[in-house]
């Protein structure tokens, strides 16, 4: 736990320096919630408030989610863990934020815990990226020697299923959906305004939580995140009825990586996979 | 009565739709199960069209576009290929039979190929039987 404490001290010091020096106008990080097991996302705008920042194993939120809420040109410092830094890279690739506007405070983190269940988050859910892929300041030390495991191993069980059994599985999961859109709110890549679900011309799907509208919502969202999902797992953790959305996102990410040869948010020079094509693409991918 | 599938066809204006036209003018026979929708380019196809098609009762969806490299707009079908490939994977992982969705590149001069593909695909979907997974069953929809 001392590693988390060290990161927390460094985070406060860095946030204070950045705000005092006027390098950034706000810092996106975590603060204490109603107890230390329930931290909340926090926006700090004054150096005096930097002491409220915390970091512990329950800080699972993806702070990259809040970047697109501010106008382009706002100078922002953002605290990111491994997967979150991939979200920042992906947002830069998509031109939603500018690299120059950001001070990225990278946090190498392992052994994060789910706030609801207290379970350690491992590669089975989402912790395939331990060290941030892009950062200006590294809080704590890079972690080496921890085997994260392939993020896609957990899929084997579902890929092996008969298609009818798989449909039965997803139907049962989606039936519980109450269409609160928490998955959309938690997702750093869901920044469309308006979202296709909120559009009424055309009306893509039922607004009330009917089975067909829910199916349309989720399948379209999986498609919209193709080649963009950075495997942070916030959708599943945000879900009040525990639909394992990250499984489907993992599957789509796996196929994208296999077909298009790039994982989302790993390299700032890449173009988003679905807004690009390559000479070596072949018709085999349709087969 | 034997089962006759409903096939939704989405065809690009410049190649596949013109190919269908050619199949018609040369009086080739192909099954009448196909309902063809014309779009200006295969990259105009939103994957939600395909999902919506299945929801509204299509038993199979056939997408047609220009051959890669032949797109009227230069590169439209190259983007479309990536989009449709991932759509296919999503449908499969959701539990839809892969045989119900097909993408074919058919040029304006390939009237024969158009008729063949439609015939083949219709037979394939007929053997799969009615599509019930995505179909909306409640009243008034």
Contacts of B90 in chain A (CB under 8 A): 219, 222-223, 226, 248, 252
pLDDT of residue B48 exceeding 50, the answer is yes
Query: Minimal Cα distance from B75: which residue of A?
Result: A277
Confidence at residue A123, expressed as pLDDT on a 0 to 100 scale: 65
DSSP line for A235-248: HHHH-TT---HHHH
Cβ–Cβ of A252/B82 closer than 8 Å? no
Please state the domain extents for chain B: 7-128
Strands B7-12 and B60-65, sheet pairing: parallel
Residue B42: which of B106, B97, B91 has the closest Cα?
B106
Query: Minimal Cα distance from A172: which residue of B?
Result: B94
Average pLDDT of every residue of chain A? 89
Domain B7-128 top-level CATH class: alpha beta
Confidence at residue A39, expressed as pLDDT on a 0 to 100 scale: 92
Q: What is the mean pLDDT of residues A169-188?
A: 93
Q: How many C-beta neighbours within 10 Å does residue A218 have?
A: 22
Q: What is the mean pLDDT of residues B18-33?
A: 94
Beta-carbon contacts of B134 under 8 Å, excluding residues fewer than 6 positions away, are A212, A215, B51, B54, B55, B96
Identity of the residue in A165, A167, A220 whose CB atom sits nearest the CB atom of B51: A220
Confidence at residue B141, expressed as pLDDT on a 0 to 100 scale: 45
User: How does pLDDT run across A122-167, given as a tens digit for each residue?
Assistant: 766 666 788 889 999 888 888 887 776 788 888 888 899 999 999 9
Q: Tokens representing A48?
A: 């005096």
Compute chain A's Rg from CA coordinates: 19
Q: Are B64 and B14 in contact (CB under 8 A)?
A: no
Confidence at residue A124, expressed as pLDDT on a 0 to 100 scale: 67
Residue B116: which of B104, B100, B131 has the closest Cα?
B104
Q: Are A25 and A46 in contact (CB under 8 A)?
A: no
pLDDT of residue A271 exceeding 80, the answer is yes
pLDDT of residue B140 exceeding 70, the answer is no
Identity of the residue in B51, B82, B95 whose CB atom sits nearest the CB atom of A166: B95
Q: Which residue has the tokens 């066809």?
A: B9
User: How does pLDDT run across A81-131, given as a tens digit for each residue?
Assistant: 888 999 999 999 999 999 999 999 999 888 888 888 888 887 666 667 888
Q: How many C-beta neighbours within 10 Å does residue B3 have?
A: 11
Cβ–Cβ of B48/A204 closer than 8 Å? yes
DSSP line for B35-90: EEEEES-GGG--HHHHHHHHHTT-SEEEEEEPPTT--TTSSHHHHHHHHHHHHHHH
Cβ–Cβ of A215/B92 closer than 8 Å? no
Bridge partner list, B105? B65
d(CA A219, CA B49): 12
Cβ–Cβ of B86/A252 closer than 8 Å? yes
ipTM beyond 0.85? Answer: yes
CA A148 centroid distance within chain: 17
> With the CA atoms of A286, A287, B6 and B10 taken in that order, what torsion angle do they form, in degrees rounded to the nearest 10?
20
DSSP line for A139-151: -S----S-----T
Please state the domain extents for chain A: 2-138, 153-277
> At A259, which helix (H) or strand (E)?
helix A245-260
**CA-to-CA dists, residue B94 to A165, A171, A258, B12, B45, angstroms:** 10, 9, 19, 27, 20
Q: What is the mean pLDDT of residues B71-83?
A: 93
CA A137 centroid distance within chain: 20
| DSSP classification of residue A272 | P
User: How does pLDDT run across A213-266, given as a tens digit for each residue?
Assistant: 999 999 999 999 999 999 888 999 999 999 999 999 999 999 999 999 988 989
Percentage of residues of chain B with pLDDT beyond 90: 91
């Amino acid at each position: 736990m001392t590693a988390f404490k060290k990161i927390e001290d460094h985070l406060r010091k860095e946030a204070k320096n950045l705000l005092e020096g006027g390098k950034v106008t706000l810092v996106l990080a975590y603060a204490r919630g109603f107890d230390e097991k329930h931290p909340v996302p926090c926006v700090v705008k004054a150096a005096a408030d930097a002491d409220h920042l915390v970091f512990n194993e329950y800080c699972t939120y993806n702070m990259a989610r809040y970047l697109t809420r501010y106008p382009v040109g706002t100078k922002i410092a953002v605290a990111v863990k491994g997967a979150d830094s991939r979200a920042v890279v992906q947002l830069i690739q998509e031109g939603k934020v500018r690299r120059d506007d950001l001070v990225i405070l990278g946090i190498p983190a392992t052994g994060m815990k789910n706030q609801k269940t207290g379970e350690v988050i491992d590669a089975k859910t989402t912790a395939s990226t331990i060290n941030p892929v892009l950062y200006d300041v590294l809080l704590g030390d890079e972690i080496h020697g921890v085997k994260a495991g392939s993020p896609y191993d957990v899929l084997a069980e579902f890929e092996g299923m008969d298609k009818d059994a798989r449909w039965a599985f997803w139907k049962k999961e989606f039936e519980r959906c109450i269409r609160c859109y928490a998955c959309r709110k938690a997702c750093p890549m869901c920044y469309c305004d308006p979202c296709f679900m909120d559009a009424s011309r055309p009306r893509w799907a039922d607004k009330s939580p009917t089975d067909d509208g829910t199916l349309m919502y989720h399948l379209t969202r999986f498609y919209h995140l193709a080649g963009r999902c950075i495997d942070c797992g916030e959708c599943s953790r945000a879900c009040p009825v525990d639909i394992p959305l990250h499984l489907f996102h993992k599957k789509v990410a796996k196929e994208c990586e296999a077909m298009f040869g790039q994982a989302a948010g790993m390299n700032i020079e890449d173009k988003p996979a679905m807004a690009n094509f390559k000479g070596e693409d072949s018709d085999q991918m349709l087969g | 009565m034997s089962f006759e599938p409903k096939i939704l066809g989405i065809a690009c204006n410049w190649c596949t739709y013109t190919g269908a036209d050619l199949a018609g003018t040369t009086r080739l026979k192909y099954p009448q199960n196909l309902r063809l929708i014309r779009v200006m380019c295969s990259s105009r196809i939103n994957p939600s069209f395909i999902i919506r098609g299945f929801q509204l009762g299509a038993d199979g969806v056939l997408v047609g576009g220009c051959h890669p490299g032949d797109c009227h707009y230069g590169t439209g079908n190259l983007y479309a290929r990536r989009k449709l490939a991932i759509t296919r994977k999503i449908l499969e992982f959701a539990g839809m039979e892969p045989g119900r969705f097909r993408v074919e590149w058919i040029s304006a001069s390939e009237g024969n190929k158009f008729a063949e593909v439609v015939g083949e695909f219709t037979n394939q979907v007929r053997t799969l039987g009615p599509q019930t997974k995505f179909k909306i069953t409640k009243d008034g929809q």
